[in-house]
């Protein structure tokens, strides 16, 4: 039977470590702080940001939720970010995406001070990560490395194949794996004979944003599969394609009218040596790594 990599347990361990670091910093008169900026009223974003703010409180970090109206302009957001860049009680700035169409999201993210860019999206942090220098890394890719290390999965010398080339997950995940001495291949929608490449992977990272895209014939027996995808399915046909005969999922689907599937078809996990489930895997690491990045930013800003 393949080993299930427990994202909940690993996230809990990281949060406990963050809480201990926060106590040590408190003894020096330092309280790391995170400012979360949520524009407008997107229900999914509101839940996600509320969870982040609550986690800050649970771990002893200072947090502030800033909620500009959905009509806010790019210029007004620039002013807001400039103020947060200057505040000494704010170590991390989180701008929840997506932003309204009238706001230039890319320019706004670039306006965040790299020292406070706890999402790791700023070009300065991306460049430092590429160069192998100390940087605030994007939370989900950093979580992937933590899952592998804390689960005892060897990385050095392994062939890691990353399916997906986004700036937020695919590219930084590939770089972090490379820095851990894996041999890395990046694949994407234009890759020819993709299954032939994914079948070479000792570590297969699926981050392409397509439900069940990685199928059993694309997996090398015994490989470690890291499924980054979170895709909500609502149609009965899709449900049957992924979860036919799964009584637990059937109950969830009947109750909610939807369920979650990753970028890996559930049948593909049967070939794996180890894998991250969806839900219960990589997604749970994102907030934990955000907390860790906030504490790290607080220490880096003070030369600790």
List the catalytic residues: 52, 96, 119
End-to-end CA distance of the chain: 44
What count of other Cβ atoms lies within 10 Å of the Cβ of residue 24? Answer: 12
- Among residues 80, 72, 67, 134, the alpha carbon closest in space to that of 111 is found at 80
H runs (alpha helix) in 220-282? 236-243, 247-256
- Among residues 97, 185, 163, 173, the alpha carbon closest in space to that of 142 is found at 173
Give the CA-trace dihedral at 178, 184, 190, 196, to 10 degrees: -170
Q: Which residues contact residue 274 at a Cβ distance below 8 angstroms, ignoring those fewer than 6 apart? A: 2, 3, 4, 5, 151, 153, 224, 225
d(CA 89, CA 184): 39
d(CA 49, CA 54): 9
Asked if 183 and 156 touch (Cβ cutoff 8 Å), the reply is no
Establish how many alpha carbons lie within 13 A of residue 251's alpha carbon, considering only the half-sphere containing its beta carbon: 2
Q: Are strands 224-227 and 231-233 parallel, antiparallel or unpaired?
A: unpaired
Task: Please say whether the dihedral angle defined by the alpha carbons of residues 86, 89, 91 and 97, taken in this order, is positive or negative.
Answer: negative
């Amino acid at each position: 039977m393949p080993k299930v990599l427990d994202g909940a347990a690993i996230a809990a361990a990281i949060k406990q470590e963050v809480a201990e670091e926060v106590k040590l910093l408190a003894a020096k008169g330092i309280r790391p702080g995170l400012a979360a900026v949520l524009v407008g009223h997107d229900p999914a974003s509101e839940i996600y940001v509320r969870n982040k703010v609550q986690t800050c409180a649970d771990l002893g970090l200072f947090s502030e939720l800033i909620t500009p109206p959905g009509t806010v302009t790019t210029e007004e957001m620039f002013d807001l970010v400039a103020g947060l860049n200057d505040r000494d009680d704010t170590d991390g700035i989180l701008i929840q995406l997506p932003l309204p169409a009238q706001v230039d999201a890319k320019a706004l993210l670039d306006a965040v001070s790299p020292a406070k860019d706890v999402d790791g999206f700023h070009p300065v942090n991306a460049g430092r990560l590429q160069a192998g220098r100390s940087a605030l890394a994007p939370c989900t890719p950093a979580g992937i490395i933590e899952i592998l290390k804390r689960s005892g999965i060897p990385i050095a010398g392994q062939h890691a194949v990353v399916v997906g080339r986004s700036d937020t997950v695919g590219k930084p995940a590939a770089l972090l794996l490379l820095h851990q001495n894996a041999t890395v291949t990046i694949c994407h929608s234009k890759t020819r004979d993709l299954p032939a490449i994914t079948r070479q992977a000792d570590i297969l990272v699926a981050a392409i944003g397509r439900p069940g895209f990685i199928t059993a014939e694309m997996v090398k027996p015994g490989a470690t599969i890291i499924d980054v995808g979170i895709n909500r399915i609502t149609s009965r046909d899709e449900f049957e394609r992924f979860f036919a005969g799964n009584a637990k999922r059937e109950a969830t689907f009947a109750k909610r009218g939807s369920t979650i599937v990753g970028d890996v078809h559930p049948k593909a996990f049967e070939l794996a040596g180890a894998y991250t489930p969806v839900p219960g895997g990589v997604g749970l690491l994102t907030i934990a790594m955000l907390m860790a990045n906030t504490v790290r930013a607080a220490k880096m800003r003070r030369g600790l």
